[in-house]
Amino acid sequence: MKIADYLQRIGYAGTLDPTLETLIALQRAHLFAIPYENLDIHRGGTLSLDIETIFDKLVTQKRGGWCYEMNSLLAWALGELGFDVTLLSSDVVSEMSGDGAGGDHLVLMVELDRPYLVDVGFGNGLLDPIPLEPGTYTQRFLTFHLLNEGDRWYFQNHPYGGSGFVFTLQPRTIEHFTARCHYLQTSPESGFVRTTVCHRFTQDGIVTLRGATLRRITEAGVSDEIVDNPATYEQVLNRLFDLRLSGVTSLWEKVWARHQIWLRETT
């Protein structure tokens, strides 16, 4: 694993000093270049916590990943560049509940002049790091909130993004997430098993492909359209998410079958 290959993957050619300026630039570059996606769960693959496997997938193969992959890769890169990085565990919730120990979501804390919450793995969450201080944070047209209650912190996502997550500052190793990583990609109760999802930040907002529904979020609002054939589905993956996969037709058939079930259940 070479840091130069990662930097080339995200298109970053700026300063490498371990400063806030560099951290902001790296997080943005990562999010613009590497999409969030869980497609291998639906293609018969296994998502690993091994950093060499993650590096090969996201950097060498130019794929995307989910939180364990995305934030693990960034944590490794930041460590290589001399940043002080801590892995934190969180629970994905709609309000401040739970203790964060469940490991639904891996997030990062980076120590600079003060601690910062860093996250490239929530899909449609933060674009930039934020100070680990309670408050309201606005990034472009999106507003986030960070709340604190005792040793628990709650990140409230922007209104278009759905749930947030509860976490504590207890340092974790990647092994802490082993059981939850397995559950979320194998259990029929897991949303990751039930639905394919891709997110990617764009220059004017966020684009999401959840099942067969393509959503664009911009300052003008939200627009949805249904991707109703395999050729268009493959074009969307290629053009909007920079994903070029084998076996797209087989994946599409699963996506479309689930979309039909969803239609029957909601009409």
Active site residues: 67, 105, 119
- Asked whether the beta carbons of 134 and 117 are under 8 A apart, the reply is no
**Neighbour tally for 151: CB within 10 Å:** 11
HSE-CB at 60 with a 13 A cutoff on CA atoms is 9
Q: What's the DSSP call for residue 18?
A: S
Which tokens in the block code for residue 259? 């979309």
Which tokens in the block code for residue 197? 């999802």
- Closest by alpha carbon to 72, among 146, 165, 166, 173? 173
**Residue type present at position 225:** E
